[in-house]
Structure 1
Amino acid sequence: MDFNSVIGIAIALAAVFGGYALEGGHPGALVQSTALAIVLGGTVGAVLLQSPLRQFVLGIRMARWILIPPTLDAAALVEHIGRWGTVARKDGLLTLDSHIEGIDDPFLKKGLQLVVDGTAPTELKRVLEVEIDTFEDLHRQGARIWEAAGGYAPTIGILGAVMGLIQAMENLSDPAHLGAGIAVAFVATIYGVGLANLAFLPIANKLKTLISRQVLIREMLVDGLVGIAHGENPRLITGRLQGYVV
């Protein structure tokens, strides 16, 4: 669980609703289903229009990373690589075959299998770097749907506000409907700007940070596996990989 995200969400909601309440407003006045439907529906539709379905679905699935980020223990991976390097240098690369079955990460498993198969270090690096580039590009596309939503939501909020004002103007002689139209107008703007700046854009930036971290760890793994394939001193490999651990 990423408690930074939980704390950030709590502070943002407390600041918005608490500040509104301190000014004498009633939090219930900010709950407007019509405005929410306009902003969320319009934003989702716009994002779907610009994004392939696969990219959209991936971005939605990646949202869980905000609370439960991928577990990547860089220090533990450095220890594993150092241990594999020692085994390979002492007993040969083929002895690492017994270590492959216990690996859950597909990228690391594939890399170690390539080492065991005797793949040339330059070819090993090339193959794994292609995997890293593909991983980064795919997941950054997923993060971009949240960035796009952050761009569309305020504009859709303004659209909802204009629609609410149109309804209000049409009912100037009917105070009951006049108030409802004005409420939709202002609350739609709040939803658009609030969702963009308190949810969509922060989610997009957080996902980009997590993706960059995963790419860095994979680059570290490539460095270590290539070192093992070269037959480098395990201590040299471990010392070099420590530079990736932050």
Structure 2
Amino acid sequence: MLDRSTIIGFISGFTLILSAIVLQGDLMVFASMSAFLIVVGGVLAATLVNYSYENIKYSFLTISRMMGAKSVDLRTDMELMRMFAKKVRTEGILTIDDEIKDLNNDFLQNGLQLAVDGYNRKSLGNILDDEIQSHERQLSISVKVLDSMSEYSPAFGMIGTLIGMILMLQNINDPESLGAGLAVALITTLYGTILSNMVLGPLAGKLEYLSKLDLNRKEMFRVGILSMVEEENPRIMENKMLIYLEPKQRAEYKKYHEKLPYGTNREEKLFQEWTKYQNKEWETLNENLEVETG
């Protein structure tokens, strides 16, 4: 399922276009199955020639997964990493072995499991780097697939228009049919333009944006995992991870923890029930912990 902003964007865009058509004429005039088949079929065929079936399938699965995912707040991730780091610092890395299975992020889960299994910092760092780079390559291919489809759409719209005009000119001796024939011929250009600029192009841009956020999150997890392996002070790990937050979020996070009363049982409560907080917004997490620990 698409995220809220994407759904709102699609609905708003198509509503405006359809409203403009209805206000000026008959909507059914713009309906053409042959134009649809030329544009959509042509785009899919050209994409299959350019990319493998697996690349195309992965692209749509990726954008469906990434845009259907719940919003991620890196400050919540930092709270959990900080909690694990304190546990590792005082009791050792093996103490979080039972907790790893409940993590809902595959990269973090795999990284911490490798840390628990005894991989040293260098080996673990190389493995995490390779995983990030592999994921980045896959996302880059997915973006290119959607970009290519966006580029093909207007071209196949023009092809459909040329086909329609050729067929129309066969009846050039019938002046009354020229206007209607020209209108039908131009519909494919309309379909190609809409598909490119309203669907495929924006989806490519959205996937590129989401992929950058996802890679930034993985980089932050990498820093935290390696810090735990070296059993660094959780504050050192926290400062390293803070650079991956946006300036406003970073300031809010630091200000909150600076004002946090000494001796609070917040950390203990978080460790007991962290599984239900890992998907929540940071503000919601704080509100719940303050109520429960209050």
Distance 1:67 1:232 in 2: 35
Question: 2:30 maps to what in 1?
Answer: 30
Aligned to 1:126, the other structure's residue is in SS state helix
Distance 2:112 2:90 in 1: 17
Cα deviation for residue 56 of structure 1 reads: 0.7
Give the fraction of aligned pairs with identical amino acids, expressed as a percent.
28
Question: 1:75 maps to what in 2?
Answer: 75
Distance 2:62 2:201 in 1: 14
Question: 2:21 maps to what in 1?
Answer: 20
Q: Is the 8 A contact 1:157 1:188 kept in 2?
A: yes
Q: Is the 8 A contact 1:72 1:214 kept in 2?
A: no
Runs of 4+ in 1 over 3 A off after TM superposition: 69-73, 173-181
Letter in 1 for 2:197: N
Distance 2:66 2:235 in 1: 36
Q: Is the 8 A contact 2:74 2:217 kept in 1?
A: yes
Distance change >3 Å, CA 176–CA 54, structure 1 → 2: farther
Distance 1:102 1:67 in 2: 22
CA deviations over 1:4-41 (Å, ceiling 9, x no partner):
1122112211222222334x222222111111110000
Letter in 2 for 1:8: G
Question: 1:192 maps to what in 2?
Answer: 192
Cα deviation for residue 67 of structure 1 reads: 5.1
Q: Which runs of 5+ in 2 are unaligned?
A: 247-294
Is 1:39 matched up with 2:39?
yes
CA deviations over 1:135-187 (Å, ceiling 9, x no partner):
11112212221110110110110000000000000122456865664233110
Q: Which runs of 5+ in 1 are unaligned?
A: none
Question: 1:11 maps to what in 2?
Answer: 12
Letter in 1 for 2:16: A
Cα deviation for residue 98 of structure 1 reads: 1.8
Cα deviation for residue 189 of structure 1 reads: 0.5
Q: Is the 8 A contact 1:150 1:201 kept in 2?
A: yes
Task: Give the TM-score taking structure 1 as reference length.
Answer: 0.91
Cα deviation for residue 91 of structure 1 reads: 0.8
Is 1:227 matched up with 2:227?
yes
Number of equivalenced pairs: 245
The root-mean-square deviation of aligned C-alpha atoms, in Å, is 2.0
Question: 2:172 maps to what in 1?
Answer: 172
Higher mean C-alpha deviation, range 91-100 or range 62-71: 62-71
Q: Is the 8 A contact 2:157 2:192 kept in 1?
A: yes
Q: Is the 8 A contact 1:167 1:178 kept in 2?
A: no
Aligned to 1:171, the other structure's residue is in SS state coil
Higher mean C-alpha deviation, range 111-120 or range 37-46: 111-120
Task: Give the TM-score taking structure 2 as reference length.
Answer: 0.77
Is 1:203 matched up with 2:175?
no
Question: 1:124 maps to what in 2?
Answer: 124
Distance change >3 Å, CA 65–CA 28, structure 1 → 2: farther
